[in-house]
Structure 1
Amino acid sequence: MPETSVTLAVASDFEHDFQGGADLLRRGRVNEAIIVMTRAVAARPDHAQARHNLGMALKRKGDLGAAASNFIEAIRLDPSLETSRLSLAEVLKSQGRSGEAVRHVRQLLERQPDHASAWRMLGLLLKGLGESASAVAAFTRAAALNPRDGASRFGAVMALLPPFYDRQDDIAQARAAYTTALEALPASLRLDTPDGAAAAADAYGSFLPYYLAYQGQSDRALQARHGRMAVDILARRHPEFASAPVLPLEGPIRVAVVSGFFCWHTIWKLFIRGWMAGFDRQRFQLFGYHTRTASDAVTALARDGFDRFVEGETNFVALARRIRDDRPHVVLFPEIGMDNLTARLAAIRLAPFQCVAWGHPDTTGLPTIDAFLSSDLMEPPGAEGDYTEPLVRLPGLGIHYPALPVPEEPLDLASFGVGPDDILYLCCQYLSKYLPDDDDLIARIAAAVPTARFLFITPRSELLANRLRARLRLAFGRAGVVDADRRVTFLPYLSPGRYASLNAQAHVYLDSVGWSGGNTTLEAVAQGLPVVTWPRGLMRGRHSAAILTALGATATLADSADRYVDIAVRLGHDPDFRASVRQATLRGLPGLYGDVRPIRTLERLLEDRVRMNGYLI
């Protein structure tokens, strides 16, 4: 074949794969798209857009490392390719490399200083890094450049709730600023105009007040304001979803579980798998709606375990219609506040009865939620006043929690500088849970146990880890401990098996105060690890205490700061005490795993409510 013909054939094949791969991706056929796009890149390795397209497909699949490599190569081939820089920034953020992501976005803004989407991405990145003032400025700039950018207006308000505080007084300042901005938000969204209302509805859920709950205060008033605004915004745009559907009288009860966490995640472990395994399937049909594209072995379990399982549909209107068409009597949200699409769906009416569990343990403020499913052991007296929803205190922990075996994988703690004689205090909570006022608890334990080493898990931001290090140095100094940097170790994120090994090797689990461990505590007690906890304040500060009470292992349950320190110090010095706590913990596990009272009580609640509403014979 002549050389020209060969060139034309190669070009023709490339164009076929280039266009075909993009079409496959649009249709959601991600694996096929990757095969075709890889072939296109092999034919034209110097084609920047082909590299970008392959990166997008790999990103959709969740192969973030390969996606980043292709975006970087696309940028090298064509530095002006703005979509690659923004996509790379998003991937880097997901990998915990937000600092690198900021650098790429700033490079884009150097070329195009009026790029509204780049300013919004910069705001998102800076918000996650805890740089609230800079994040607000970036979101504000994005909104000024694009008046229809409702997402940036939401972002500018939510960025006032930082993920971390250097001083306790910063909390009051952040809360006051957020309160003022939230009150002004509806006016800035221009909800009184059709365009403004439409833009706000399309943007709602892009940024949520997730970090409000970490301030350790009752959020009812603020969440009620936010929830009423959300419901109003979506009702203006989508009046067809503003009222509950009328269903024919029929049975069994159809229960829709709506979540972005049909995957290996805390929400799956605590709530969804127990509902899937525990509901009486003669009386209840279980429908699952996965609001994210992430998929793993757990997703496969859900496909088989639910009577109907819907995934891959991430368009709000399409998914809302799909759920409504399936006519559920009840919608269960395991959480509201952690997943954007779930939050939008929770602000409309999908079923006659809609409930939220304590996956994000704060009131939603949404008038569309008819019950908050909590735990009798976790809720303090008078807790009803902290919720806009009617509070339902289910027995025990409020969840059906079967045993969750996780095979251990090797974890060499010596490689992280841990010595063989160190007493290991596991501090494994999300760093936002550690408020400045409680640093002295750790420092006092360090002063009393010279061989104590405190193991934290590095967040997806080294900046936040460094800020906690700086806070702990000050606290340790106040306690007369001069080697804070040696005594505090930050471990990387660990695989489930290596994390199980960490729980097995640790000596003591130090619970965070104000917002205690839930899933992390359950995984610790599964290994018999002694848990020191001080139940205080709202329900979210009482998870671990409830777990220990359910186990009948309450010797490490404190009622004051001094008692918390005393118990932790005794565990550090007294191996016999540690062993006795471990034995009591392990003895209680069968009763905890076998407690079906929460799911049976939930079944009766749903049946009574559906019958009361006249939807079931």
Structure 2
Amino acid sequence: MGTREGLAKLEAGDLAGAEAEFLPVLFANPKDVPALHGLARVAMGARRFDVATDLLGQAKKLEPASERLALDFLEACSALASQQPGNASVHYALAQGFLELGDIEAARDALVASLMADPRHVQARWLVNRLLPRVCGNPQEIALWRRRTATGIAILDATVHPASPEASALELPGLLARTNFDLAYQGQDDRQFQEIYGRLVHRAMTAWLPDLAEPLLPVPFVFREDKRIRIGFASAHFTRHTVFMFLSGWIRHLDKSRFKVFCYLVNATPDDWTQEIAGACDEFRHLQCALEDSARNIRADALDVLIYPDVGMDARSFALAAIRLAPVQMAGMGHPVTTGLPSIDIFLSGELLETEASETHYSEKLVRLPGISVCYHPLQTQQTKQRADFGLDGADTIYLCCQPHQKYLPQSDGVFTEIAGLVPQAKFLFFDHPARHYDNYRFKARLRQAFLARGLDPARHLIFMPRQAWEDFIQLYGLCDVFLDSFGWSGGNTSFEALSRSLPIVTLPAPLMRGRQSFAMLKILGLDECIARDALDYVKIAVRLGTDQDWNRHIRGRIAQERGKLFDDLTPVRALEAVVAQAVVG
């Protein structure tokens, strides 16, 4: 009795017998994924597609990286949509399934179908023209989707004007469905889009909670028993996440004799890193409650300043940032693009990250903290693995390309082929997304085509590895020859960690802040020779680092000698304290 027997009966076409095997397993353990999957296949065979989608949805939550579950879910949803073509919610569920795989065109088609079934379906209406693929085949495709996004935002801005809390509440499911997160990866100035969308969300949120739209005055210090400035940080990423690594130094090192620190975990499940943040602040709140209750809980803490480290990465945090929960509200660079929100007063960036024209990129007042703006502490691990542990050849020149796919725009593919043409033993190490399997296929196909067009064998030069745990990423930094920074949006945590292992980086700074992080790190280390002037210079530096072992060792030695300047630097924290104090007490 059990899952194995159930699968055997399922293959034999005995649906009733298979169901009888799977059900006891599931009763004993409702989270048994093979049993959930098996029962879903039984339901599919019986044409009970609603039951199948429910079971597969449960299984996908337990194993989100499973491509088989994702594809079976799409099959079940498609069949259910054929059974119930007038059910907008079924088409919307199908859209979500395609979206999770990365098939944005199919997701958009399903959203259109949802709106045809019910033009009032609020999530579909908010999303249909704002979806963006993370992997595009060419610049023209990027331009197409960008035009669609502009149209979608403009239509929402023109049509969403709720006149009451009740009318605004009807828009909340759409507002909370998704932010413009993917827009920033296209390497262009997004201020216009962000401002229109920011005003829209601000308008909807303040109509829903009008009392939280009112300006706030701080409680005079003369009436306070605790004279410390009350500062809060709200994020969905006080967990094992890059935002935590990048910006948690602010929280850890603020002078607790001058500042009372509140941290709010929004819309996320806490983990061991959450406990570290909780121990570093005075008050920690896990906001598991409804959105309105979360907003009122934050406001009840009577903060002087509220900082959102990563506005734009999480829809719930974005909604909270759209209302006035503290007299002064700031955004950090966890998502390095302007928020566009009228309710955010200051954007905190770094002086080495910005250019003379940077003020034009932000709707907020831009404040440049020293250097990169953060106090970064690298992960401390010993080098315990060798190339063979990852299936890598010791004789290859390995160029580490560890950014997510969306950071690699199609117009930069030629850089890899140019390097490969000059470094015959070059291997470019990329990483798959654990769940967006369609993106993985498109990205690999695009790169392979670029190599074939150059007369190069993709199999000889391209390595695609499953995404690694942070600890193994760190091990790989110690095993690769060169770190190739991405164009348009550079490495952040990855660049810090690479430099902590003395791995040489080659970068080409972009005009926008999000493309200048590795540049800033190399400037601090005095390694201008690793900063390219243009794409041709980038290739030249990368080739030399991959072929001139003496120069590679020289650069590694200089990184090792100077990297103390890069880590655990309290200067930005002291500057942040001064900015906050000036904003509160003048």
Look up the match of 2:228: 252
Letter in 1 for 2:560: L
Look up the match of 1:46: 23
Look up the match of 1:525: 499
Find the aligned partners of 1:414 and 1:352 in 2 and give their Cα distance.
Answer: 53
Q: Deviations over 1:441-479 (max 9, x none)?
A: 110000000000000011232322222222223322343
Match of residue 121, structure 1, among 83, 93, 96: 93
Look up the match of 1:174: 145
Q: Once the 2 structures are TM-superposed, how far is the Cα of residue 551 of structure 1 from its aligned partner?
A: 2.0
Letter in 2 for 1:72: H
Structure 1 pair 260/334, CA: closer, same or farther in 2 (3 Å)?
Answer: same
Letter in 2 for 1:141: A
Q: Could you say what secondary structure the match of 1:536 adopts?
A: coil
Q: Deviations over 1:141-178 (max 9, x none)?
A: 3344455532222221221x221110111121111121
Conservation of the 8 A alpha-carbon contact between 2:22 and 2:39? no
Q: Once the 2 structures are TM-superposed, how far is the Cα of residue 535 of structure 1 from its aligned partner?
A: 0.6
The correspondence of residues 216-235 of structure 1 with structure 2, limited to 5 A, is 216-235=187-206
Conservation of the 8 A alpha-carbon contact between 2:102 and 2:437? no
Q: Deviations over 1:414-445 (max 9, x none)?
A: 664x3221100000001001111111111000
Match of residue 464, structure 1, among 427, 431, 439: 439
Letter in 1 for 2:288: E
Conservation of the 8 A alpha-carbon contact between 1:258 and 1:342? yes
Find the aligned partners of 1:479 and 1:77 in 2 and give their Cα distance.
Answer: 49
Look up the match of 2:37: 72
State yes or no: 1:480 paired with 2:451: no
Q: Could you say what secondary structure the match of 1:46 adopts?
A: helix
Look up the match of 1:299: 274
Find the aligned partners of 1:192 and 1:50 in 2 and give their Cα distance.
Answer: 49
Conservation of the 8 A alpha-carbon contact between 1:86 and 1:118? no
State yes or no: 1:239 paired with 2:210: yes
The correspondence of residues 207-606 of structure 1 with structure 2, limited to 5 A, is 207-250=178-221, 251-272=227-248, 274-408=249-383, 410=385, 413=388, 416=391, 418-459=392-433, 460-481=435-456, 483-606=457-580
Q: Once the 2 structures are TM-superposed, how far is the Cα of residue 523 of structure 1 from its aligned partner?
A: 0.9
Find the aligned partners of 1:465 and 1:202 in 2 and give their Cα distance.
Answer: 30
Structure 1 range deviating more: 353-362 or 467-476: 467-476
Structure 1 pair 173/46, CA: closer, same or farther in 2 (3 Å)?
Answer: closer
Q: Could you say what secondary structure the match of 1:270 adopts?
A: helix
Look up the match of 1:156: 128
* TM-score w.r.t. length of structure 1: 0.84
Structure 1 range deviating more: 338-347 or 227-236: 338-347
Letter in 2 for 1:405: Q
Q: Deviations over 1:361-391 (max 9, x none)?
A: 1111000101110011111221100111111
Q: Once the 2 structures are TM-superposed, how far is the Cα of residue 111 of structure 1 from its aligned partner?
A: 4.6
Q: Deviations over 1:530-576 (max 9, x none)?
A: 00101122111111000111222332111111110011111111111
Find the aligned partners of 2:450 and 2:22 in 1 and give their Cα distance.
Answer: 55
Find the aligned partners of 2:489 and 2:268 in 1 and give their Cα distance.
Answer: 29
Structure 1 pair 433/99, CA: closer, same or farther in 2 (3 Å)?
Answer: farther
Find the aligned partners of 1:244 and 1:70 in 2 and give their Cα distance.
Answer: 54
Q: Once the 2 structures are TM-superposed, how far is the Cα of residue 240 of structure 1 from its aligned partner?
A: 1.8
Conservation of the 8 A alpha-carbon contact between 2:489 and 2:514? yes
Q: Once the 2 structures are TM-superposed, how far is the Cα of residue 138 of structure 1 from its aligned partner?
A: 1.4
Q: Could you say what secondary structure the match of 1:118 adopts?
A: helix
Q: Once the 2 structures are TM-superposed, how far is the Cα of residue 47 of structure 1 from its aligned partner?
A: 7.1
Find the aligned partners of 2:73 and 2:341 in 1 and give their Cα distance.
Answer: 34
Find the aligned partners of 2:114 and 2:24 in 1 and give their Cα distance.
Answer: 31
Structure 1 range deviating more: 237-246 or 431-440: 237-246
Structure 1 pair 413/166, CA: closer, same or farther in 2 (3 Å)?
Answer: farther
Structure 1 pair 74/507, CA: closer, same or farther in 2 (3 Å)?
Answer: same
Structure 2 residue ranges without an equivalent (≥5): 1-20, 222-226
Find the aligned partners of 2:389 and 2:376 in 1 and give their Cα distance.
Answer: 34
Look up the match of 1:131: 103
Question: Percent sequence identity over matched residues?
Answer: 32
Look up the match of 2:78: 106
Structure 1 range deviating more: 108-117 or 433-442: 108-117
Look up the match of 1:88: 59
Q: Could you say what secondary structure the match of 1:566 adopts?
A: helix
Q: Could you say what secondary structure the match of 2:129 adopts?
A: helix
Q: Could you say what secondary structure the match of 1:399 adopts?
A: coil
Q: Could you say what secondary structure the match of 1:555 adopts?
A: helix
Q: Deviations over 1:318-371 (max 9, x none)?
A: 111111111111111110111121111111111011111111111110001011
Q: Could you say what secondary structure the match of 1:499 adopts?
A: helix
Conservation of the 8 A alpha-carbon contact between 1:525 and 1:585? yes
Conservation of the 8 A alpha-carbon contact between 1:128 and 1:163? no
Letter in 2 for 1:270: F
How many residue pairs get aligned? The number is 554
Conservation of the 8 A alpha-carbon contact between 2:130 and 2:148? no
Find the aligned partners of 1:547 and 1:430 in 2 and give their Cα distance.
Answer: 20
Conservation of the 8 A alpha-carbon contact between 1:114 and 1:145? yes
Structure 1 pair 403/338, CA: closer, same or farther in 2 (3 Å)?
Answer: same
Conservation of the 8 A alpha-carbon contact between 2:386 and 2:479? no
Structure 1 pair 121/409, CA: closer, same or farther in 2 (3 Å)?
Answer: farther
Letter in 2 for 1:333: Y
